[in-house]
Amino acid sequence: MPHAADDGGANEHVPLSTILREWGRIGCIGFGGPPTHIKLLRELCVEQRGWISGQDFEDAIAACNLLPGPASTQLAIFCAWRLRGRAGALIGGIAFIVPGLVVILALAALFLGTSPPLWVLGAGAGAGAAVPAVAIQAAASLTGPSWQRRKNTIRWICYLLAGAAAAATLGPWLVLALLGCGLVELTIQLTAGHRADGTIQGLISAPMLAAGGISGGVLLSVAWVAFKVGALSYGGGFVIIPLMQSDAVSHYHWMTGAQFLNAVALGQITPGPVVQTVAVVGYAAAGLGGGILASAIAFSPSFAFILLGGRRFDQVRSDRRARAFLDGAGPAAIGAIFGSAIPLTRELSHAWQYAVLAAALVLLLLLRRGVVLTLLCAGAAGVIIALTVSSALS
């Protein structure tokens, strides 16, 4: 694919102010997660403005899906990089991320306040009850494409089951299962005489080094959790949920299980990247500064991948080792998303929440309604139930 220049992209006539405005607009209206983001970026860059060819856009999607981290965010940064190089990538990426960050931090202050109103508690309990259904729907949507790309049926199923079991039982150590599945598949696919280079080895050494260096202090702990979310999540934004839940609820006790469900729901109903859920966790741990820090660290790898490796995206897409690694890590990540529904369901504390969960499963899987609509309906049901119960008791 054509490449942007180091400091001036292939379309230098595109003003940085245009990138700021258009990427900010997508960040404001991008409800619905990665499918919506990809659709809006394609409409803007390929169909309306003709800045990027259709083939180059599809190649960029494929390359982003081979990288860990939020793929649609990386795609947004990459498209801006193609237009105006590094300056465009920074401005476009920040414009895409900040609107959702502002909204989700404002909602976090409301939902995590010391004395939130009754209707807020009801809305959170209702929307939170639907979150396990959202996890199942997210994993189901990824299963078909991954199954079609499988190299070996038995291994694919084993990786899926390993990821599901790890998400249900291992908590913060899930990332080792994802990396392990990727390395197993990489080893199998490498022909005799070829060995994995330092790129793949670095995926294991990096978290181990970070774990040794980030051991004390709330902000350092927030940084470590955010780093795992941004650099070690494969298979879409929802795989961050099992990566965060054990740390935020069980290990560091920054939030209750119910509050974590609220955080996941907020990440789904706000515009912009789903990874913004980590900002709610950071807010719960250390207030506004913690939320901003968590978001900044979680998205830093995405910027680094584009700024340092954007020129090599075509090589990444065709790299046999990168594809082999993802052939193992990808199914494991999908399994982890399925498996995350188990600990998420265990956090439900009211009998009526299971009825809301069942209704959400019907809406998402049978009626094929959208995630945002389902969560809003579940939240509204929670408000009605909370106010009704309160009136009955008073």
For the segment 178-215, what is each residue's pLDDT rounded down to a tens digit? 888 988 998 998 863 454 444 444 433 334 334 444 44
pLDDT at 27: 92
Q: Which two tokens stand for residue 392?
A: 């009955």
209-to-202, 205, 213, 214, 347 alpha-carbon distances in Å: 10, 6, 6, 9, 32
pLDDT given for residue 98 in this prediction: 95
Predicted pLDDT of residue 201: 43
As given in the structure block, the two tokens for residue 148 are 């079609």
In the predicted model, residues of the chain with pLDDT beneath 50 are 1-9, 192-193, 195-215
* Cβ 340 vs Cβ 135: under 8 Å: yes
- Which value, to the nearest 10 degrees, does the dihedral of the CA atoms of residues 74, 79, 84, 85 take? 40
The radius of gyration of the chain's CA atoms, rounded to the nearest angstrom, is: 21
Alpha carbon distance 232, 181 (integer Å)? 13
Q: Please report how many Cα atoms fall inside a 13 Å half-sphere around the Cα of residue 336, on the Cβ side.
A: 34
User: What is the Cα–Cα distance from 42 to 65, expressed in whole angstroms?
Assistant: 16
Report which residue type is found at 287: G
Q: Can you tell me the distance from the alpha carbon of 255 to that of 270, in angstroms, rounded to the nearest whole number?
A: 20
**Per residue in 31-73, pLDDT tens?**
777 778 888 999 999 999 999 988 888 888 877 877 777 888 9
Got the DSSP string for 137-205? HHHHHHHHHHHHH-S-HHHHHHHHHHHHHHHHHTGGGHHHHHHHHHHHHHHHHSPTT----HHHHHHHH
Helix (H), strand (E) at residue 353:
helix 351-361
Are 379 and 127 in contact by the 8 Å Cβ rule? The answer is yes
Please report the pLDDT score of residue 389 as a whole number: 84
Q: Domain ranges in the chain?
A: 16-97, 98-393
Closest by Cα among 118, 89, 115, 131 to 307:
89
Angle between the N-to-C axes of helices 320-346 and 198-213, in degrees from 0 to 180, rounded to the nearest 10: 40
Token pair for 292: 């901003």
Contacts with 106 (C-beta within 8 Å, 6 or more apart), sequence order: none
**Using CA of residue 189, residue 201, residue 165, residue 167, what is the dihedral sign?**
negative
Q: Which two tokens stand for residue 106?
A: 């404002």
Check residue 129 and give its pLDDT.
92
In contact, 97 and 27? CB cutoff 8 Å = yes
CA atoms within a 13 Å half-sphere pointing along the CA-CB vector of 389? 13
